[in-house]
Homo-oligomer: A and B are copies of this chain.
Amino acid sequence: MSPGSRVAMSRRASAGGPVDLSDSPQARLFPLRLGSAAITGGLWAERQRLNREVLLPRAAAQLEAAGNFDNLRAAARHGAQRFRGPVFMDSDVYKWLEAIGWELAREADEDLERLADEAIALVADAQDEDGYLNSYYQVVEPSERWSNLAQDHELYCAGHLIQAAIAQRRGRDEERLMRVARRFADHIEDTFLRGGRPGTPGHPEIEAALVELYRETRERRYLELAEYFVDQRGHGVLGPGHFGSSYYQDHVPVREATEVRGHAVRALYLATGVTDIYAETGEPELLAVMEAQWRDMTEAKTYITGGLGAHHQDEAFGDPFELPPDRCYGETCAAIASIMWNWRLLLVTGEARYAELLERTLYNGFLAGLAVDGSGFSYVNPLQVRAEHHDPVERGARRQPWYEVACCPPNVMRLLASLANYLATGQRDGLQVHQYAPGRLAADLADAGHVELELATEYPWQGSIELQILETPAEPWALSLRIPSWAADARAAVNGKPVEADARGGYVSVRREWRGDDVVELELPMRPRLITPHPRIDAVRGCVAIERGPLVYCAEQVDQPGHAALDDLGIDASEPLRTETVEHPLAGTVVIKGRGVQARAARWPGSWGYAEHGSPAAVCEHEHTELTAVPYALWGNRGDGPMRVWIPLRS
């Protein structure tokens, strides 16, 4: 291969991606440089195209219509003006600017640059002389800055500003927003860390942003400020609030918090920041509580989709094993936060389980948040919707073009734009592939040299993955491929010769002197699987879910023969499942067929909702039918009908 084939799409080939741990003492694995990974086809490339061509440009108009830009204009005029929307309106602008930063690192686009530049000018204009920047307080309560940290999201917005500035700088050498962000960060440092003002954000977010700002600037005071906010938490500084102090993780000091509690997005953004601090400081207690929280979450508080949050009322984690499929909250932002946290845990531990949960969340709890045609985003991602389904529009289970609380849409955009950064990592002498998508990966391995490879696959629809070495140094290095836990009988081969490798650690690893035309093949078995829930998950007792590869499946009303009521559908688990690839209307999708068992529940003989066990009044007739399941991520793209992930076992 010629040197010209190197992937170097970033304007700043040395820039880090969203999480740059290249100098972090605790990193076991290192993210690739920004632009060193690209997704070139398949499901995610299509979503990235949609993001670039539709979501990001349209969001400019949506931010204009909702008043986000007007709020910044009002703040710039320093007079009493009208403010619209919730107090955290600025953060939507920042997340969108962050998304554009990563998107422009993928490929230049004059229209997106112009949109971003206009918004950055607005943000810069709005900043106060002393560096303060929050359009709500500047417009509505200028004398009340920092007076309601529990509810009013000033530090949360500041965190998103910092992340946007980092993306704009790393992605396109844009420095203006970074100057704004640093002035505000310095103001916050003066106010809290230097000024001795107690306080911590009611909604975490700034912690991870400040650590990244430290990584970007190497100014340790930003790391110290992040630590300050983490240390302040858990001492009641935020007050009890409406839902108790656990709502914003203020019920116990962070170093003693072994459970995930309260508002899911807050808990996970905090965990992301704490893990970032651990990556820099190596304080063992921080990793220990992060690992404990992760176990608590995955054993008892995570939906099979990777979705998180069981309560609508406080958008919170439920009690252990409280995982109702219908009242599942599973906010799209919580899925994104979980992906961010798992990525950092993967980097500081090298353990495959974090990459596996990241994959599950990406392909299910996150992907469901975006309509196939980009027409809407979901806020809430339930695992069951019944025939009769009443929900307020805001925070309902249906995808909407925008929301009054519009946290999710630009969050989807920033993850899609930066998604290639989450595929692979490097070490001194190896490259690790954690997620499989058609694309290219490159890394400069300290002990070996420049490596580059191309990945071809139809994953997640098929399990064949082919990696071709494009460039390699003469020195030996290790290529590690993650083997999902559902793929215990995976097979790997190099140039057609089977590899005998121990994948118990979650990776099959081949260390050798590679040549530029070597081909590695990985075959992940894609047999459909029936899944049983833990017996303590009361809400789905007696049911199974269907999975195939990384995808969780669901049944939708539209696929049921004769429109038999989905609410009454069961499954005969003794019959095998089959797969079919459909062309319309979910083109290219592998659907799963099985033997359905339809209860005639409309003819329930009981006089009301209950009847004596074993009596004729308690027995429903059944009939057999064909069951069709489609990927959960694609539900709700063919009308508004009922859906269910968990299907009652019947025979």
Contact = CB atoms under 8 A, between A and B. Distances in A.
Nearest to A240: B392
Contacts of A608: 298-299, 302
Of the candidates A318, A393, A529, A534, the one having the most CB atoms from chain B within 10 angstroms of its own CB is: A534
A320 interface: yes
Given A313-B312, A324-B324, A388 B609 contact: no
Contacts of A318: 326-327
Contacts of A534: 601, 604, 606, 609-611
A244 B613 contact: no
Contact of A535 (B535, B601, B612): B601
Contacts of A323: 609
B386 A530 contact: no
A604 to B, nearest CB: 5
Contacts of A321: 386, 567, 609
A205 B362 CA distance: 49
B536 A567 contact: yes
B567 A386 contact: no
A568 to B, nearest CB: 7
Nearest to A315: B313
A322 interface: yes
A253 to B, nearest CB: 17
A537 interface: yes
Nearest to A574: B614
Contacts of A606: 534
A563 interface: no
Interface in A421-460: none
Interface stretch (A109-117, A145-153, A542-550, A553-561): A542-550
A55 to B, nearest CB: 28
B573 A536 contact: no
B539 A611 contact: no
A536 B298 contact: no
B242 A392 contact: yes
Interface in A587-627: 599, 601, 604, 606-614, 618, 620
A299 B300 CA distance: 32
Contacts of A533: 609-610
A581 interface: no
A485 B302 contact: no
Contacts of A175: none
A607 to B, nearest CB: 7
A474 interface: no
A327 B646 CA distance: 19
A51 interface: no
B322 A529 contact: no
Contacts of A319: 326, 386, 388-390
A609 to B, nearest CB: 5
Contacts of A393: 244
Contacts of A89: none
A568 B536 contact: yes
Of the candidates A532, A545, A612, the one having the most CB atoms from chain B within 10 angstroms of its own CB is: A532
A248 to B, nearest CB: 13
A538 interface: yes
B610 A304 contact: yes
A203 interface: no
Nearest to A619: B532
A35 interface: no
A541 interface: yes
Contacts of A607: 353, 485
Contacts of A648: 535, 538, 541
A311 interface: yes
Given A302-B609, A532-B611, A539-B538, A392 B326 contact: no
A497 B606 CA distance: 33
B535 A599 contact: yes
A388 B325 CA distance: 20
A177 to B, nearest CB: 35
A62 interface: no
A484 to B, nearest CB: 12
A134 interface: no
Interface string A133-148: 0000000000000000
A449 to B, nearest CB: 37
Nearest to A604: B534
A618 B610 CA distance: 30
A261 interface: yes
B544 A541 contact: no
Given A386-B322, A536-B567, A531 B611 contact: yes
A595 to B, nearest CB: 14
A541 B392 CA distance: 27
A498 B369 CA distance: 68
B568 A612 contact: no
A384 interface: yes
A529 B612 contact: yes
Interface in A504-548: 529-545
A531 B386 contact: no
A609 B529 contact: no
A246 interface: yes
Given A326-B538, A485-B607, A607-B485, A612 B531 contact: yes
A620 B541 CA distance: 13
Interface in A157-174: none
28 contacts: A242-B392, A298-B609, A300-B609, A302-B609, A312-B313, A313-B313, A319-B386, A319-B388, A319-B390, A320-B387, A322-B326, A322-B386, A324-B324, A384-B538, A485-B607, A531-B610, A531-B611, A531-B612, A532-B611, A534-B604, A535-B601, A535-B648, A536-B567, A536-B601, A538-B539, A538-B646, A541-B542, A544-B613
Q: Which 4 A-B pairs have the closest CB atoms?
A: A542-B542, A530-B613, A532-B618, A313-B313
Given A531-B611, A534-B609, 17 more contacts: A246-B390, A299-B609, A300-B609, A319-B389, A321-B609, A322-B326, A324-B327, A324-B539, A486-B612, A531-B613, A532-B614, A533-B609, A535-B620, A536-B567, A536-B604, A541-B543, A542-B542
